[in-house]
Structure 1
Amino acid sequence: MLPKLRLAVVGLGRVSKSHLPAVRELSDKIELTALVSRDASKAEQEASQWKGVKTYTSYEEALQDPNIDAFLLLLPHDLHAEYSIKALRVGKHVLVEKPMAMNVNEAEQMVAAAEESKSVLMIGQSRRFFRPVVESIHRIRANEIGKLININALLLAHMDKPATDWWKDDSKIGGFIIPLWGSHIIDYVIWAYDKMPISVYAQGHSNNPNWSGEDEVVISLNFGEGQMANLLMSFNAGARATDEEGLTGKRIWSTQNSIYDRYLIGSNGMMHLKDEYELTLNGEKQAECERTNANFTWQLEEFADAIRENREPLASGREIIRVMKVMDACFESMRTHQVTPIQS
């Protein structure tokens, strides 16, 4: 039997509740070795649910632990680059939550650190890891709708207040709806086209005093050769009652409480992704899956397998730099009110 990947989880906030069950689900491949949190009581409380798990309040100390092979980083966006680079430079593998970084310059430094240490760097583009989503990519590659010429993506959700305090601070989050959800949609669009757009025109506004970043956004991407994508995102869609976290229902990213659709228009057909759970081709259902968090398990398994097989993972740092280039260009277009070229 191959040895298990010895993993440390850094950050025990809201999103850890999706990642930690995935670690447990993959106990045949992954051993949770350590938990890192500035809150010692929170780390100890979570560790009590596991066997033989160390706790650290110092990330620097955890980096020196020879029994840790890899880090899963669940941190505010402004810490993604710093914490990733520190781990990569001491030869640890890294799976870091999306967005990859605050900007493309940070992202390039992360990739350089991974390449220098020959470590795996993967970005948590977790919404790739649903069967209907993967199936849609396979069908695009097989030309089942002819040449892909347009992707129209629509996200309508309602949020009254941020789920965590650091979301209020633009210096920590780097915007609002674009890094929180746009990073997923932009990633899918680039993945589907398998090339970079050449320019973007974006408009964005903030309508809620509970944060400073954009909560209404329209993005138009030009891929050349008659190919485009149009993204419309809103966190103001409705005035429904909110729970104590400021979210409608369980989470804003529940299909019950949001509209999330992508229409992929080809020269000879159309596909429709309803959230990540259902794919239709020319009106006929092709694939569906249950509405669970299993995508975090599939994502973590891809990370572990890439390390074991000494290969680049799906959603590697080198690949997701493309998303950061587009996000940077979106913010520049919003600032200048101009069509902005995107570096290839």
Structure 2
Amino acid sequence: MAVIGCGDMEDAHQQVFAGLGDRITVIGTADVVLARAEHAAQALGAPRAVTDYTELLDDADACLIVTPHDLHYEMGMRCLRAGKHVLMEKPMAVSEEQCLDLIHAASTAERQLMTAYPMRFHPLVAHLRELVAAEAYGEVIQVSVYTEQHTEHPEGHWIRSAARLGGGQLFSHGCHYVDLLLWMLGEPVRGTHTGTRRGTPWMEWEGTSNAVIEFASGALGYHFGTWGARATRHGYAIHVHCEKGMLEADLTRGLLYAHHPWAGEARAAASPGGSPRPRARRGTHGGARRLQTPRRRTRPLRRLPGQRRQPAHRRPGQPARAPRDLAALRGRAARRGRRPARPRAERGMGPTGSGRPPAGVAQPAQIRW
């Protein structure tokens, strides 16, 4: 394989090549900056590093194209016409016409043309798609994808240019997740997209986007993506809302949750004579099957001024505890030179702050990779 382009994405591809071992041989690297090509060649064990990628075509069976988006079409067509298989870093090209030309060229040359959409091969995503296809929780109502990151390249970088990027955040990065929505939900009918440069002034087009797609099945797909997130912890997640519950893939932490619906409504509907059974009392799981509990704590829940304190869980008949004077406790601890313990309502999981889920909601299942 010839690696064409040794810039920002080259490090990610190096990790993949390392995992493939002797299943693939890199015969050479190419980049307009020779030093980058030489560095990549050394890391990948390639014997050649050049500035003109066409010098590698005679010795290559396939080409990996990892260049600015506006160069994909020309390089892809050159490689396909030379009889090479092509793995194209996303997006395939910057226009529909260019994409169709590349597909036609690959078909004519009887060579493989593939766009690099690695999210389909993520273990959590692959398992999530299996559950969706099997209708493990019934028919899908909506799949929502959330991606948050801060991506601000230096002045003069090609990603800042809408012409070279092919658009904005949705076109460059959101395409991964639009691909997942199509993979999971099938044939799209129509969609909308809105975006803004607010918070990402370095982008010529949108740095934050919201896309909604309606599918032939009646299900909806949604993607929120931003390159302007500013937080101590950014998140990547996929929520699949179904008739019988919700599936949640926490891509940031590598966890897959299976959320059950609140069981109180189901028991009321199923009770003899239509008379509702007593609702689950606060602090129980409402009869829902409790699954494996992820043992992790969240950050303290903070109340806004004037917000009522949520009561902690307690046994039937047990009197409620008097609210603790947090200011007095913290002042006393400060005078003693130690950090005060946070009260239960601040250190627990869930809105009740007790370490248990809200009434009637089962703990989610956990799959860890």
User: What's the TM-score, normalizing by structure 2?
Assistant: 0.67
Between stretches 177-186 and 150-159, larger displacement belongs to 150-159
Closer, same or farther: CA 25–141 of 1 in aligned 2, 3 Å:
same
* Candidates 181, 194, 199, aligned match of 1:203: 194
* Candidates 247, 256, 265, aligned match of 1:279: 256
| Structure 2 residue runs without a partner (length 5+) | 260-362
Structure 2: which amino acid aligns with 1:44?
Answer: E
Which residue is 2:245 aligned to?
A: 269
CA contact 1:9–1:34 (8 Å) conserved in 2? yes
Which residue is 1:305 aligned to?
A: none
CA contact 2:17–2:44 (8 Å) conserved in 1? no
Which residue is 2:14 aligned to?
A: 20
CA contact 1:273–1:280 (8 Å) conserved in 2? yes
Which residue is 2:121 aligned to?
A: 129
Matches of 2:132 and 2:16, distance apart in 1: 29
Structure 1 position 237 matched with structure 2 position 229: yes
Structure 2: which amino acid aligns with 1:284?
Answer: P
Which residue is 1:118 aligned to?
A: 110
Alignment of 1:17-56 (within 5 A): 17-51=11-45, 53-56=47-50
Alignment of 1:111-190 (within 5 A): 111-161=103-153, 165-190=157-182
Matches of 1:138 and 1:49, distance apart in 2: 36
Matches of 1:46 and 1:235, distance apart in 2: 27
Matches of 1:161 and 1:13, distance apart in 2: 13
Q: 1:82-112: per-residue Cα shift (whole Å, max 9, x none)?
A: 2112111111011111122212221111111
Structure 1: which amino acid aligns with 2:367?
Answer: A
CA contact 2:91–2:175 (8 Å) conserved in 1? yes
Which residue is 1:288 aligned to?
A: 368
User: How many Å apart are 1:49 and its aligned residue?
Assistant: 4.0
Structure 1 or 2: more strand by fraction: 1
- Corresponding residue pairs, total: 264
Which residue is 1:222 aligned to?
A: 214
* Candidates 63, 68, 72, aligned match of 1:76: 68
Provide the aligned C-alpha RMSD in A.
2.0
More relative contact order in 1 or in 2 (CA 8 Å, sep 6+)? Answer: 1
Closer, same or farther: CA 59–201 of 1 in aligned 2, 3 Å:
same
| Structure 1 residue runs without a partner (length 5+) | 1-6, 241-255, 290-344
Structure 1: which amino acid aligns with 2:172?
Answer: L
User: How many Å apart are 1:165 and its aligned residue?
Assistant: 0.3
Which residue is 1:309 aligned to?
A: none
Which residue is 1:306 aligned to?
A: none
User: What's the TM-score, normalizing by structure 1?
Assistant: 0.72
